[in-house]
Chain A
């Protein structure tokens, strides 16, 4: 691990000032915020990340889950994944988020990993994690050996000729379906980012994963007020029963009115370069009967424009069945 200066600012403003001096907030940032450390310390050991300054935000006042006046929920940046998943309001009103978080990592890691950190979780692509290999995400312009190499677990949606790395988060898939909002304080004040706008596609700049700029500090995430009668399912398919990243996953938030889908929000994990909301599937299902045929049509629409690689064509059918099953489970209530 490279040497760094360890800082523990007294308040958010001081943390933002330090981080604002960084050249980038993306891959290779020279100043990094650290909270749980489950991604960052791992990548620092691998020397994939080599910050000169590490800013500990654990003691800043972002450690609460609070009710919003509109009935929504405000989740602090440093809320641990286990506390979020086991929170009574989350379990009752946003169960897809609870299910998603509890399907990821291990109990120990969930006790460490935070809300903001999970938003910034990095890909598990083996080439990204190995500094002996080229990687456009880690070192722009060096190439993507995954495209001709080991790509079984990598993305089939949102890829580019430069990068096919999968976003590994479960939490983010649920938050995409719940239409969460990310709150950031930065050098130019506070702003909000709609969940779907937070992560960016790799395109020709895969080292850029989010819209965050130097100094941007995620302070909290808000969830919109829950709607009565919401049916929520997170289904995760993987190589082993537990403690494994998704090959395909689906988050469904559905409302039925006498057997007809009055509203549905759908997102997929394990298959996209970012948490993959599917407006196509939502459009197919809006106003339609909750039937197996319609669920299959929604899955077909979601996976219509995939670009599989040499080892992961299987993910297309796997993701379709995953979504179809999740929709059916939600409809069955």
Chain B
């Protein structure tokens, strides 16, 4: 985030806003210029950095959104927690944490999986794509743009998982009709009930492809 964006609340992300609404967080935020607080910065979690030594931690390399990340993690760490807590890519959401909601959907070697039911250590050397690797606000992936155009969300919590599923669906065997899309998107629960618009967004991209 640039200084200009920081000075203009209209450009704040939700996460940045929330992090500044605590009683002492504002100063920390300005000074450290990190997403949450100084002690959770990316550098502090990286190997070789001064930080707590995790007993039994193992070294792994994940290629995340095209960039190799070398990490030391507790073998119990799920891919989801690794992405969110170690790599600080918080676009991937934790919903149920038991493989029942799809909010944590990411791509591993190009295929969609629920990152909550997989251990990061099992993916050593593999290619991970998260919502952050799909597009940027300035250059959105067509599926991101379609979700925006079709209003495929309300609260937005399931949205990154929905979009990751929808992008993977484009390469999977799927009939042309809405029913086929609904069936292949059924692993992503939306408690706001934006399903009709989600199906419309997916179909918009498929028809334009």
Q: Residues on A close to B: CB < 8 A?
A: 1, 3-6, 34, 36-38, 41-42, 45-46, 54, 56, 58, 82, 86, 105-109, 111-112, 241-243
Contacts and interface: CB of A to CB of B under 8 A. Distances in A.
Given A4-B76, A107-B169, A109-B114, A42 B119 contact: no
26 contacts: A1-B76, A3-B76, A5-B75, A6-B121, A34-B119, A34-B122, A38-B99, A38-B114, A38-B117, A41-B119, A45-B97, A54-B119, A56-B121, A106-B114, A106-B187, A107-B112, A107-B169, A108-B102, A108-B105, A108-B113, A108-B187, A109-B187, A111-B111, A112-B114, A241-B182, A243-B187
Given A4-B75, A112-B113, 13 more contacts: A3-B74, A34-B119, A38-B99, A41-B119, A45-B97, A45-B98, A56-B121, A58-B122, A107-B185, A108-B112, A108-B113, A109-B187, A111-B112
A238 to B, nearest CB: 11
A6 B73 CA distance: 12
Contacts of B112: 107-108, 111
A42 B99 contact: yes
B113 A41 contact: no
B102 A106 contact: yes
A234 to B, nearest CB: 15
Contacts of A46: 98
A112 B115 CA distance: 10
A243 B185 CA distance: 9
B176 interface: no
Q: For the side of the interface on B, what is the size category?
A: 20 to 34
A20 B114 CA distance: 31
A82 B108 CA distance: 14
Contacts of A5: 56, 75
B69 to A, nearest CB: 19
Interface in B88-116: 97-99, 102, 105, 111-114
Given A6-B75, A107-B165, A108-B165, A242 B102 contact: no
B38 interface: no
B187 A37 contact: no
Nearest to B78: A41
